[in-house]
Amino acid sequence: MRPFFCTVLTLLLSFSLLVGCETTKSMKASITSKVDSMTSDVDQELYAQVPEDDRMLVQEAEFSLVVSTEKAKLAKFKKKLANKEKKYASYALDLAKKNKKSAAIQLDIAKLEAIDRSGLGEKQDNIKTIADLKAKTLDIESDKVKIEAKLSTTKIDIENLKNQIEVMEEVINSMKIAEQ
């Protein structure tokens, strides 16, 4: 009796898994068909049978879709441009901060050198502090060079995007003129 019960239980479990998988497949097919119906093209064979006189509105709609697609591309490029300009401004701010820090250190160096020349303070401490400040200055200069490089490359990217946007705007404007 026990082997029979195990066999029946195994069959029921297998059947429920099979039914579950089939249900999942049919649900997926249903969802996919709904999505396809919203985004897929109309049956081209049927459309080919439509008389030329009735296709004028369709051609206008196709043209409108092309213009809208170009406008969407243009908007993406403008967003990229805005991001690049934001990045450029951030780099410019970083560079200004580094310049300010460098100027502050140069002021400290000038003061310490004046103190040292006047024979004030401990000579060894003055020399060590001046050397440390000059080392900081070199680090800051290195950072400034890197930031300036980022500024330059970002500026080139901005110019390229502006050129692309200008071309895209001209294309869209010519499409609008052609539409009229």
Q: What digits encode the pLDDT tens for the residues 112-124? A: 999 999 999 999 9
Q: Is residue 155 part of a domain?
A: yes
- Of 62, 63, 69, which is closest to residue 179 (Cα–Cα)? 63
- Give the orientation angle of helix 56-117 with respect to helix 123-179, to 10 degrees: 170
Do 31 and 90 fall into the same domain? no
**Does residue 126 sit in the same domain as residue 71?**
yes
Q: Are residues 106 and 74 in the same domain?
A: yes
Q: Is residue 112 part of a domain?
A: yes
Instruction: Find the mean pLDDT for residues 17-45.
Output: 51
Q: How much is the pLDDT for 71?
A: 93
95 and 163 share a domain?
yes
Q: Does residue 44 lie in a domain region?
A: no
H helices of the chain, where? 2-39, 44-48, 56-117, 123-179
The answer on 86 and 148 residing in a single domain is yes
Contact (Cβ atoms closer than 8 angstroms) between residue 67 and residue 172: yes
Q: Are 32 and 71 members of one domain? A: no
pLDDT (0 to 100) of residue 16: 56
Q: Residue 120 phi/psi, 5° resolution?
A: -95, 155
* Mean pLDDT of the region 48-65: 81
Query: How much is the pLDDT for 78?
Result: 96
For residue 79, is it within any domain?
A: yes
- Do 65 and 5 lie in a common domain? no
Return the pLDDT at 3: 57
In this structure, is residue 52 part of a structural domain?
A: no
Q: Assess contact for 84 and 158: CB atoms under 8 A.
A: yes
Which one has a higher pLDDT value, 52 or 3? 52
Q: Are residues 65 and 27 in the same domain?
A: no
**What is the reported pLDDT for 20?**
52
Is residue 107 in a domain?
A: yes
Looking at the structure, tell me whether residues 81 and 165 fall in a common domain: yes
Does residue 63 sit in the same domain as residue 28? no
With cut-offs at 50, 70 and 90, classify the pLDDT of residue 33.
very low
- Give domain status of residue 53, yes or no: no
Number of folded domains that form the chain = 2
**109 and 67 in contact (C-beta within 8 Å)?**
no
Angle (nearest 5°) at CA 108 between 106 and 113: 95
Between 61 and 151, residue with greater pLDDT: 151
Domain ranges, residue 30: 1-36
Same domain for 170 and 138: yes
Based on the domain organization, do 68 and 23 belong to the same domain?
no
